Amino acid sequence: MKPLVRMFAIVFVVAIGILYWIQYLNTSEGYSGDNTLTVYNWGDYIDPELIEQFEEQSGMKVIYQTFDSNEAMMTKIKQGGTVYDVAVPSEYAIDKMKQEGLLYKLDPSKLPNLGNINERFMDLPFDPGNEYSVPYFWGTVGIVYNPELLDGKKLTGWNDLWDESLRNEILLADGAREVMGFALNSLSYSLNDTNDDHLVEAKQKLEKLTPNVKAIVGDEIKMLLAAEEAAIGVVWSGDASEIISENEKLDYVVPSEGTNLWFDNMVIPRTARNIDGAHQFINFMLDAEVAAQNAEYVGYSTPNEEALAIMPEEITEDERFYPSEEMTAKLEVYENLGKTMLARYNELFLEFKMHRK
């Protein structure tokens, strides 16, 4: 028995040593809550140079982690096992996180640069008074397409996608709200529709689109469209901007039947340990020069009015990506449909994907 006892003793000592080392890392200089800031954001959604700049200015170490869906982000924060000081959810997710008590209220006195944000992007229904969130980027969902691959054909709306001449030419972003949403819009229904008859009708119409759909993909949609592997893609406007920067043959259209007007905002989750540092980071990102640099790097539309004033006019006057207030007034923001209805959207979207196989 002595060798066995000795083995357990060694394992115990090693385990204690590991726990001590973890505790040391979490409390030593550069790794404590006050000196570390954990940012949880979408992939490729910030200029890395700005993270370095913030670290130099603040003396904090930024730990940058990414997520690929609002649902994955909310689940991780709700579980509470990981510290996140700043996160960047979309509008309907912010509404849900508020209801579930997953966010801290912001301290406006610590955000002097908040005045740089255009008022049309403040005080929106998902967060009245911006008590919990600060605008980061905004945009639309639309159609990017290559006229040369379509013999000069121009697309203007969702219903154009059902043209029989477009067989095997369309890539769709892998998102239930986005795909079900454009199908609903094509039928003149709201993309927040909760009428089950309308939802089933939208799914059935999507099934008729199947011959034209080459694939339903994730982030690789940008590379595939830029490389002309398909002529058409249903994408977010920022992705369209990036695709067009890689291949100027492509164009982007905000569909005439209407579409999603989305907003991604910075928040402080309830998991935060460095609340003061979180305010510092948010205020840093609201600086006009920082926001301008970030917008030019990411390719999405900035709500920062002072940043727009110093950005190139060829960017800020491009109505494909900075549509007029009159145009955006006709678009819809995703609403928090609740767990049951969101599951229904996902179920119908999955049925559509299975129909393609």
Residue type, 143: I
Residues 162 and 244 in one domain: yes
- Domain assignment present for residue 196? The answer is yes
- Distance separating the N- and C-terminal Cα atoms of the chain: 60
Picking from 316, 86, 334, the residue whose alpha carbon sits closest to that of residue 192 is: 334
What does the mean pLDDT of the chain come to? Answer: 90
- Domain assignment present for residue 2? The answer is no
Strands 86-87 and 36-42: parallel
Query: Which pLDDT value is given to residue 194?
Result: 97
Range of the domain at 282: 9-138+264-323
Query: Which pLDDT value is given to residue 81?
Result: 86
Residues 275 and 256 in one domain: no
> Could you identify the residue written with the tokens 């920082």?
290
Residues 132 and 275 in one domain: yes
Residues 55 and 113 in one domain: yes
CATH of the domain at 222: 3.40.190.10
- Domain assignment present for residue 204? The answer is yes
Two tokens, residue 322? 């900075």
- Domain assignment present for residue 303? The answer is yes
CA 280 to chain centre: 22
Query: Which pLDDT value is given to residue 26?
Result: 41
Residues 127 and 52 in one domain: yes
Query: Which pLDDT value is given to residue 329?
Result: 87
Query: Which pLDDT value is given to residue 33?
Result: 60
**Which residues of the chain are under the pLDDT cut of 70?**
1-33, 357
* Beta pairing partners, 36: 61
- Domain assignment present for residue 119? The answer is yes
Query: Which pLDDT value is given to residue 346?
Result: 94
Residues 347 and 316 in one domain: no
- Domain assignment present for residue 3? The answer is no
Query: Which pLDDT value is given to residue 68?
Result: 86
Give the total number of structural domains in the chain.
2
- Domain assignment present for residue 152? The answer is yes
Instruction: Provide the 8-state DSSP code for 53.
Output: H
CB 267 within 8 A of CB 97: yes
Which residues contact residue 211 at a Cβ distance below 8 angstroms, ignoring those fewer than 6 apart?
164, 167, 168
Residues 235 and 170 in one domain: yes
Q: What is the model's pTM? A: 0.83
Residues 34 and 81 in one domain: yes
- Domain assignment present for residue 1? The answer is no
Residue 247 Cα distances to 145, 225, 228, angstroms: 11, 9, 9
Alpha-carbon Rg for the chain in angstroms: 23
Residues 173 and 53 in one domain: no
Query: Which pLDDT value is given to residue 275?
Result: 97
Tens of pLDDT, residue by residue over 202-225, are 999 999 999 999 999 988 999 999
d(CA 41, CA 63): 11
Furthest-apart CA atoms within the chain: distance in Å: 83
Query: Which pLDDT value is given to residue 357?
Result: 67
Residues 200 and 348 in one domain: yes
Residues 95 and 239 in one domain: no
Residues 340 and 212 in one domain: yes
Two tokens, residue 187? 């039928």
